[in-house]
Amino acid sequence: MKLFNEYSLRTMTLKNRLVMAPMCMYQVVKEDGLATDFHFAHYVSRAIGQVGLIIVEATGVTPNGRITDKDLGLWNDSQIEPLKRIVDAVHEQGSKIAIQLSHAGRKSMTKNCEHFAPSVLESNQNYMPYKEMSKEEIHEIITDFKEAAIRADKAGFDGIELHGAHGYLLHEFLSPLSNQRSDEFGKDRNLFLKELLNEIHSVWPREKELWIRVSATDYHENGLKPQDVINTLLEVKDQLDLVHVSSGGVISTKIPLKDGYQLDLAKEIKEKVGLPTIGVGLINDPNLFISALEDDYCDLVASGRELLRNPFIMLEMLKTNDLSDKIPFSYYRAYK
């Protein structure tokens, strides 16, 4: 079965196809963006549990790029070493690890920070006061992403995921519900992404992977629809290795939740864009992990909440599927 076998991207080979989705932990102690012992235990335990690819939670490229003051950051060099400690330990367990670089835009709840977005619009969500970005500020943020990518490389990460989903800054530029600018960044809502990718590729090693998480639909008649997102991805396809397919978040709206509710979106993007995809979204049943891959909905399958509940779900699935020989020796006695 695909779930349990190696999978190779452009340059990175994973020992299996299970991915830990990025989830904010809100465990930074001094609001300085530094990873703590909690983060070390949290991520390394999933590597011991044989997750093939671990994606570290949304990490702010600036202080006001964090979703909250308790989130990780990568805006200065002091934040490199605590992350490198996690990366090295994950590698020791044979897993790969990426970091999700993010700017929260108008959804940032950081205190004592200025907040901004592509446009200032009426909304049915309660945001802290924010302003429309100037073109100078747009280019400054792109530079902040670039410098965070340099630090991610120094920390040893195998890949970078750009957070282009869930209503955060990159998604805000892409969606017509949040970007109503009259300049070039509004006339071409993909321009921010295109310039961002160009700058990151100028510093990110060619032998390392770079991908994006997208919201494939805004669930609104005037918002992004799957074909819009597909058209965006086709424009930048040559600069991406993978697409992590999520949905929603730019406005508050009803989302039709069910187990695996985003897998159809991952399949559509996989087929029409021609890039491998990560499928995610209420994937909790081991049978759904397996069938999502066997039925070609996606190339990798990600778990969020289920891996919070059970860091060792992969060990259990290996046992159930008569693959106990893949269980690490130290844990084998619990599953034989």
φ, ψ (nearest 5 deg) of residue 14: -100, 145
Report the distance separating Cα 54 and Cα 87, nearest Å: 10
> Domain segments of the chain: what residues?
2-332
Structure token digits, residue 16: 């299996």
The residues that bridge with 100 in the sheet, in sequence order, are: 161
Structure token digits, residue 189: 């809502």
Predicted TM-score (pTM) of this structure: 0.97
Query: What is the reported pLDDT for 217?
Result: 98
pLDDT surpasses 90 at 123: no
pLDDT surpasses 90 at 225: yes
Taking a C-beta distance cutoff of 8 angstroms, is the pair 204, 160 a contact?
Answer: yes
Report the distance separating Cα 188 and Cα 4, nearest Å: 42
CA distances from 118 to 7, 44, 68, 164, 336 (A): 38, 37, 20, 14, 55
What does the angle CA 332 – CA 286 – CA 275 come to, to the nearest 5 degrees? 110
Cβ-Cβ contacts under 8 Å for 199 (sequence gap 6 or more): 142, 143, 145, 146
How large is the average pLDDT for residues 99-120?
A: 97
Using one digit for the tens of pLDDT, what is the confidence trace for 180-211? 999 999 999 999 999 999 999 999 999 999 99
pLDDT surpasses 90 at 124: no
What does the angle CA 58 – CA 64 – CA 70 come to, to the nearest 5 degrees? 55
Q: At what angle do helices 263-273 and 226-236 cross, to 10 degrees?
A: 40
* Fold observed for domain 2-332: TIM Barrel (3.20.20)
DSSP state of 177: T
How large is the average pLDDT for residues 228-233?
A: 98
By mean pLDDT, which of 37-41, 43-47, 124-128, 260-264 is the weakest?
124-128
